[in-house]
Amino acid sequence: MTIAEFWPLCLQHLKQQLSTQQYSMWIAPLTVGEENGQWLVYTPNNFLFGHVKKQFWPHIQAAKAELAPADAPDLALKIGQGLRLEAAGNAAPAAVNTTAKQAPSAEQIIGKHLQAQSSSATPATPAPTAIPAPNAAVPDDNTTPAKRDAQRLSPEFTFDTLVVGKGNEVAVAVARSISENPGGHYNPFFLYSSPGLGKTHLVQAIGHTLLQLQPKAKVAYIHGQDYLRSVMNAARNNTFDALKQKYKQYDLLILDDVQFIADKTRTMEEFFYLFNHFYNERKQIILTSDELPENIDGMDVRLKTRFSQGLTMRLEPPEFEMRVAILQKKAQLAGVKLEEDAAFFIAKHIQGSVRYLEGAFKRVEASSRFTGKPINIDLATHALKDLVASAYKVITTEMIMEAVAGYYKIGIGDLTGKKRTRNIARPRQMAMMLTKELTSLSLPAIGSSFGGRDHTTVMHAVKTIADLRKESPDTERDYQKLLILIKN
């Protein structure tokens, strides 16, 4: 067996073991080759090398043990470029789990999630099993309020613009199922998470899809504060009957940030009756909050129990791969090019909230537009320096060059120039080593910063300094002193 025969089988095996996002981001860019009787897997840059080595190399080695003959050559991971191959087709060997060839459906994802929780879950009140279509026979003169509330859906918040990852995969599958069959098994649907993780995007995507599938459906998207305000207006004008009739006409009711009606006795009472109407008529109710229903302070106990009787799900913060994918999606929608290293830098240092991540991208994009510079790691570092400063001191190539040049009493131009004398070459190698250790730059990017040098020159510099640190106390002392100077 050759590496060209093994690798497509390995890719197919990895596709079944990893999420689609993990595979496309970390495995698909890998290439292969063969040299001196050894099989080689290449990563295009140093960042991918480190992540693949740490997170996915055991998967690759396990695949080799399962799919390749016992006498197959050793497998090594290197930085470079080799032959790009595609995953094998459906004719995978028996050793590969062929049952996982197709991505699971929404119902399979949901079923697996619910089955995993069934042993500890408290039986809930059964949701209606009938799934009626929305009322299509509505006079035209009654559609204006419904259309007006449907127009509150942001045109950007659709499933097409939503990035799916581990933190929201099941919730997205549920949402898609609801948009196709409103008022069914997942009614009410209660979605909660910390602020800024995409609750509003996901629930509005349900409304958009339902309107696409059933154009005559009536969809209401209302924020908790707006519903509170409408009840207050009804109390002031004594128009509760009109308020009830307004909301009863809808087929899908989305109440975002339901916690805002807590402690408001009359508002909670009105919503209690509205909720019962929707549930009894088998119309879909979708609610969002920052907390579980039982943890919402001041919420009527009757509402808490009703909120919990359908399906309650939590959105988790996006993992690193998902944050990178979100940034790439934002760049695609904005029509700008986001360099890989810049996406990695932003995703690494802006964590937790999708809202913060989007804000960081907008700042970087604006900086690029106003300066006319590409969105690379240098621009991202400069644009976001105040955002990440509290948790991380932004270290740039320029900072490292200044520290190294000052320490060795040479000019910064010497580090990027052509001179190869020992008193210049060794500081240059030290600066390259420190840049590799203290920044997210790839080896080619580091080489480019140091006068357009090749990535192999950077690799040689890193190895040289690493060896000298072991052999020479003076080199190790210089390295540690420079670390302190740069970081402080």
Say yes or no: 15 and 75 in one domain.
yes
Quote the pLDDT of residue 404: 94
Sign of CA dihedral 332, 337, 338, 339: positive
Say yes or no: 189 and 211 in one domain.
yes
Task: Give the whole-angstrom CA distance, residue 14 versus residue 4.
Answer: 16
Say yes or no: 146 and 292 in one domain.
yes
Say yes or no: 304 and 188 in one domain.
yes
State the maximum Cα–Cα separation within the chain, in Å, rounded to a whole number.
Answer: 89
Say yes or no: 180 and 232 in one domain.
yes
CA dihedral 170, 171, 176, 181 (to 10 degrees): 100
Task: Give the whole-angstrom CA distance, residue 208 versus residue 390.
Answer: 39
Query: Residue 32 pairs with which residues in a beta bridge?
Result: 41, 83
Say yes or no: 373 and 438 in one domain.
no
Say yes or no: 328 and 288 in one domain.
no
Angle, helices 422-438/397-408, rounded to nearest 10 degrees = 150
Domain of 276, in residue numbers: 112-117+142-314
Say yes or no: 218 and 292 in one domain.
yes
DSSP 370-396: HHT--B-HHHHHHHTHHHHTTT-----
Q: Does residue 128 form part of some domain?
A: no
Look at residues 332, 329, 363, 334 and name the one whose alpha carbon lies nearest to residue 349.
Answer: 363
Quote the pLDDT of residue 252: 95
Q: Does residue 461 form part of some domain?
A: yes
- pTM > 0.85: no
Q: Does residue 125 form part of some domain?
A: no
Quote the pLDDT of residue 116: 54
- In one letter, which amino acid is 375? I
Q: Say whether the peptide bond before residue 188 is cis (omega within 30 degrees of 0).
A: yes
Predicted confidence (pLDDT) per residue in 280-307, tens digit = 999 999 999 988 999 999 999 999 999 9
Quote the pLDDT of residue 147: 52
Task: Give the whole-angstrom CA distance, residue 445 versus residue 119.
Answer: 52
Look at residues 16, 11, 12, 17 and name the one whose alpha carbon lies nearest to residue 29.
Answer: 11
Say yes or no: 185 and 269 in one domain.
yes
| Binding site listing | 196, 198-200
Domain with residue 178: its CATH number is: 3.40.50.300
- In one letter, which amino acid is 184? G
Q: Does residue 91 form part of some domain?
A: no
Strands 219-223 and 252-256: parallel
Domain with residue 465: its CATH number is: 1.10.1750.10
| Binding site listing for ATP | 196, 198-200
Residues 48, 81: contact at Cβ < 8 Å?
A: no
Total number of domains in the chain: 4
pLDDT in tens, the chain (488 residues): 889 889 999 998 898 888 776 787 789 889 999 888 899 999 887 767 877 888 889 889 988 988 888 888 999 999 888 888 888 874 433 333 333 334 444 455 555 555 554 444 443 433 333 333 333 333 333 445 555 455 588 888 999 888 888 888 889 999 999 998 898 889 999 999 888 888 999 999 999 999 999 999 999 999 999 999 999 999 999 999 999 999 999 999 999 999 999 999 999 999 999 999 999 999 999 999 988 999 999 999 999 999 999 999 998 888 888 888 899 988 988 888 998 888 888 888 887 778 888 889 999 999 998 898 999 988 998 888 877 654 455 688 999 999 999 999 999 999 999 888 888 999 999 999 999 988 878 889 999 999 999 999 999 999 999 999 988 888 988 998 898 788 76
Q: Does residue 450 form part of some domain?
A: yes
